[in-house]
Amino acid sequence: MSTTSSIPKPELEKDTVVCGWKVIRKLGCGGFGSVYEVEKDGMSAALKTEFIDQEGERSETLRNEAITDLHNTGILHRDIKASNFAWSLERRVYLLDLGFCRRFLVWRDGKIVYRLARKRAPFLGTSKYCSINVHRRIEQGRRDDLWGWLYMVVEFFAGRLIWRNDDDEVIVKKKENIGSNLLKRCPQEMFIIYDHIRSLEYTSKPNYGLMRRQLEKGGRYFAEFKGCSDTEKEMSDDGRKTLQTARHF
C-alpha cells in the first residue's frame, strides 16, 4: 500500500467536485491522506483522500483508517457501528451520520487543548456498539469510537454479539464481565488491539500504528478487495488509485 511519506498524497483544489461533493476547504492532513470539508445538497461532510494499490485494502483496516483520520481533525464520531459505514462501487468507504459528532480538541488562550470532560455526559450512541463508558455516562473520547469499531470486528468474526437481543441492563452486565472472552473467535492479533484500547483514558491518543500493524498481521482472516471490478476497469487510472472517505461531522 502507498502510505509512506515519500509518495505524494492526492490534493484537491477548492470547488473541485468529487462524486457530487463540492470541496469547500482543506481541514488538515491525517496519517493516510488529506481531509477536506465538502458539501452536497446542503449537507456538510469530511472527505479523505489517499492512494491505494492494485490489491486494494481490507475492510476493517479501511474502517479503522476512516476513524483515525476523523480523530486527526479533532472530532469524535460517537456512534460507530456497522450501519454507519457504506461502500461505493469505486471502493470508497463512507463513514456516515453527523448527528452525534463532537470536537474533543478546542482553542483556548491561543492554543489547542483537550475539551474538559463533563462530570456526567449524556448517553449518545447505540447500546449494541457503544463502550461501557457511554453506559456509565462517562465523557467519550477517541477510545470510545474504537470500542465501537472493536465490537464491529467481533461481530464480523463471531456472526453476532452475545448481547444482540438484550435490553440495556443486561448489555451492561455482559460488557462488564466478558473481558477478553469477547475475542474468542477472533485472530490472536486482536487481543493486542483489545488490550491497547482497554488501557486508554479520555485524553489518551490511541496508537493507530499499532492497530494497523496488528490488522495487517491478521489480514489473512479479513475480507479483502482484490483487483478491479468491471465498473472500476472503466475508470481512469487516477480514479482507481484514489480512495475518498466521507465522514459527516
Check residue 183 and give its pLDDT.
94
95 in any annotated domain: yes
Per-residue pLDDT, 136:
97
Residues in the chain, pLDDT under 50: 1-8, 51-57, 223-249
Claim: this prediction has a pTM higher than 0.95: no
Q: Does the annotation mark 79 as catalytic?
A: yes
Within a domain: residue 5?
Answer: no
Known binding positions for ATP: 48
195-198: Cβ within 8 A, 24+ apart: 197/143, 197/146, 197/147, 197/150
Task: Give the residue numbers of the binding site.
Answer: 48
The residues, any chain, with a CB within 8 Å of residue 56's CB and separated by 6 or more, are: 91, 224, 225, 226, 227
117 within domain boundaries:
yes
Same domain, yes or no: 75 and 193: yes
* CA distances, 127 to each of 29, 97, 180 (Å): 32, 16, 19
Give the pLDDT confidence of 20-58 residue by residue, as tens digits. Answer: 678 888 877 655 567 778 887 777 777 766 544 434 446
For residue 90, the enclosing domain spans 64-206
Does 84 map to a domain? yes
Question: What is the pLDDT at residue 59?
Answer: 76
Residue 167 falls inside a structural domain: yes
Q: What is the pLDDT of residues 167-199, one digit of tens each?
A: 999 999 999 999 999 998 888 899 999 999 999
Q: Which three cell numbers stand for residue 227?
A: 483487483
| Grid cell for residue 109 | 488562550
Task: List the catalytic residue out of 41, 69, 79, 166.
Answer: 79
Residues 120 and 82 in one domain: yes
41 shares its domain with 69: no
Terminal Cα distance for the chain, rounded: 27
Instruction: Kindly report the CATH number assigned to the domain that includes residue 238.
Output: 3.30.200
Do 92 and 191 share a domain, yes or no?
yes
Identify the CATH number of the domain in which residue 80 sits.
1.10.510.10
55 and 75 Cβ atoms separated by less than 8 Å = no
Q: To 5 degrees, how large is the angle CA 48–CA 154–CA 133?
A: 80
Q: Using the structure block, give the residue that is written with the C-alpha cell 492497530.
A: 211
